[in-house]
Amino acid sequence: MMRVFRSAAGKVAAFVFAFLMLLFVLTSVDWSQVTGGSRSTVGTIDGVSIPLQQFQQMVQSEVAARQQQNGRSLSEEEVAEVRDAVWQNLIQQRVLDREFTARHITVSPDEIAETIQNNPPPQLMQAPEFQTDGQFDLQKYQAYLRSAAGAQIVPLLEQEYASQIRQAKLMRVVTSDVYVSDPELWQIWRDTYEKATIEIARVLPAAVIPDSAAPITEAEARDFYQKNQERFRRPATAYLSYIQLLRFADASDSAAALKRATDLRAEILAGAPFAEVATRESSDSVSAANGGLLPEFGKGQMDQAFEKAAMSLPLNVVSEPVLSQFGYHLIKVEGRTGGKVKARHILIPIEITGQHRNDLDARADQFEALAAGKLDPAALDTAARALGLTVGAANPLQQGSRAQIGFQVIPDAGVWAFQAAKGETSPVIEVDYAYFIFRLDSTQAEGVPPFEAIKADVEAAARDEKKIAQGRSVAEALVRRVGEGSTLEQAARAVGANYQVLGPFTRINPPIRDTRVVGAAFGLEVNKLSGIIANDQLYYVMRVTKREPADSAAFLKDYDPFRAQQVRLARQDRVRSYLEALETSAKVEDNRAQIFRTAAQAEAAQPAASR
């Protein structure tokens, strides 16, 4: 079928084909055909086994669609996100199909045909073949559906629209009783438009009470640990070592960039048009597309070295190479008006090149060959010794987070670490300035770590708890000072509290998202000091300095559209809650973690003869 479709639908843009195939794959699960189980399954949903091959087909289709959209390959992290999205899609589709059956929701062929004819998918509406004078032409689309080529699309559209129509019918049933009363509507209006301005003091015990005033013994720490187990629950955590091979440009690379810039300047002085050379050679792709022309700029808008040269350069003179943080520039100023400069430039970045690149490539090859994708934990140390590198320890990596070395986020390591076996090394992971290889040294399962492993964290938490208890006396002292005649600001500064004036703000967009503070801001009398408002970490004392009521006349004027908007939002909330409840009710067994292995594990599992 696919060869026939590709041939017959040759006039349809490639992205349209990809879109339709993705819809087909994601909506064509026949649950009656996947029951009964299989040895190669990724899990079960309500007792229905999901074959690995089917799941992989869905993932690959979505990956292909995203790669086509992004114009690049996906990272391991992005592929993992696709797997999660496809899995969630399967869960949702299964529970929806269950609801369709339970509620006897069906769709007729006539309903599907009418929808296909008159409601094309938005992506198809962008296809050049269906445009007239830049606008989507429904008649062209309908004529295409009647053609031999279009007839091949119809089954794919039928599959998608059957699902969409059933879902729409189900959602109408689910939201049929949604109603927003007039009192509720007025409350929403008030929450949206009534405003308050406050002055507020915040007593943060962790900041105002010194550690020496809240000492913690080991016995207290252990007792706190035992009484607050859930507080110390941690996700699964991986402990990694790593080596890195830096790849910074050196003096030879800078000299090569300078020579290239000098040679291009000579070419321009010999008669080559600056704009043509810029289009051909500049690494600033945005300006290169316009012959190197930059938007007009003034002082303080450009790199300092670039700006200094451009401000002093005579008109229509090609500068000597100018070094900035981006590399070497050739600059040609074409005009100055009112402190603004109109200029063209050619950017030659300082990149690793020549013999330096050859040497680095050779080290990178050795780096990969010695250490990457190995099951032997000694491989990392062997590579470090051979290449004169240091083995470092990464910060503990929690499942679902990204690895970080210093301020640099390292892609893909967070996914790899929870697929790897103990002692295994990662593939080479590349960032702008270095190549990395990681080793999984150990993992800790999700749960509460032993006391000794998190002793410092427990002591800090116990100390903060003691400080919070002591912090109330600081807040009480603040209130007393106000009662004795100090302003709230003076009292706050006297006890070391933070003072701010906040507002005007509304209930739905408060600067402090604490319901007790928001309630006081719209409940206190204007200019009356609040009592002490406490939460789990700090204390507030506040005063409302101004309140602006919601406009009831505007409410009556905008009543109809406002009601329509709020009913629509209420229906969306109902649908969201309904779908969440359905998905929560599904009985799911997820075996993906046991199936998707690292490349090193997969290679080791192959028979020796096939390697």
- pLDDT score of 31 more than 60: no
Q: Where are the beta strands (DSSP E) in 485-570?
A: 498-505, 533-534, 539-548
SS3 content of the chain, % helix, strand, coil (to 5): 55, 20, 30
Mean pLDDT for 396-404 is: 92
The model's confidence at residue 241, banded by pLDDT at 50, 70 and 90, is: very high
Residue 538: pLDDT over 70: yes
Instruction: Let me know: does 83 contact 596? Beta carbons within 8 Å.
Output: yes
Confidence band of 606 (pLDDT split at 50, 70, 90):
low
Q: Which CATH class is domain 195-228+454-548?
A: alpha beta
Contact 24, 65 (CB under 8 A): no
pLDDT for position 596: 77
- CA–CA distances in Å: residue 134 to residues 127, 129, 363, 412, 539: 10, 11, 54, 42, 61
Place of tokens 């689309």: 141
The CATH fold of domain 251-348:
Chitinase A; domain 3 (3.10.50)
Per-residue model confidence as pLDDT tens digits over 575-604: 999 999 999 999 999 988 878 777 666 666
* Domain ranges within the chain, ordered by starting residue: 2-175+589-595, 195-228+454-548, 237-246+355-444, 251-348
Please, which residues bridge with residue 322 across strands?
329
DSSP 597-611: --HHHHHHHS-GGG-
Amino acid occupying residue 25: V
Q: Please report, as a single letter, which amino acid is at residue 468.
A: I
* Candidate from 16-25, 319-328, 460-469, 594-603 with smallest mean pLDDT: 16-25
pTM above 0.85, yes or no: no
Are both 195-228+454-548 and 251-348 of the same fold? yes
pLDDT digits (tens, 9 = 90+) for 358-379: 999 999 999 999 999 999 999 9
Residue 85 pLDDT greater than 90, yes or no = yes
pLDDT, tens digit, 9 for 90 and up, residues 379-393 = 999 999 999 999 999
- pLDDT tens column, 17-28: 445 544 544 444
Q: Which of 39-48, 176-185, 541-550 has the lowest mean pLDDT?
A: 39-48
What pLDDT does residue 70 have? 83
Mean pLDDT in the chain? 89
**Residue 226: which residues within 8 A CB-CB, separation 6 or more?**
none
Asked if pLDDT for residue 13 goes beyond 50, the answer is no
Cβ 547 vs Cβ 533: under 8 Å: no
407 pLDDT band (50/70/90 cuts)? confident
Tokens found for residue 571: 């229906």
**Mean pLDDT across the stretch 482-498?**
97
We find that the CATH architecture of domain 2-175+589-595 is: Orthogonal Bundle (1.10)
User: Could you give the residue ranges of the DSSP H alpha helices within 29-147?
Assistant: 52-70, 76-102, 109-118, 122-125, 138-146
What does the chain come to in residues?
611
Mean pLDDT value across residues 522-537: 95
Q: Is the predicted pLDDT of residue 610 greater than 70, yes or no? A: no
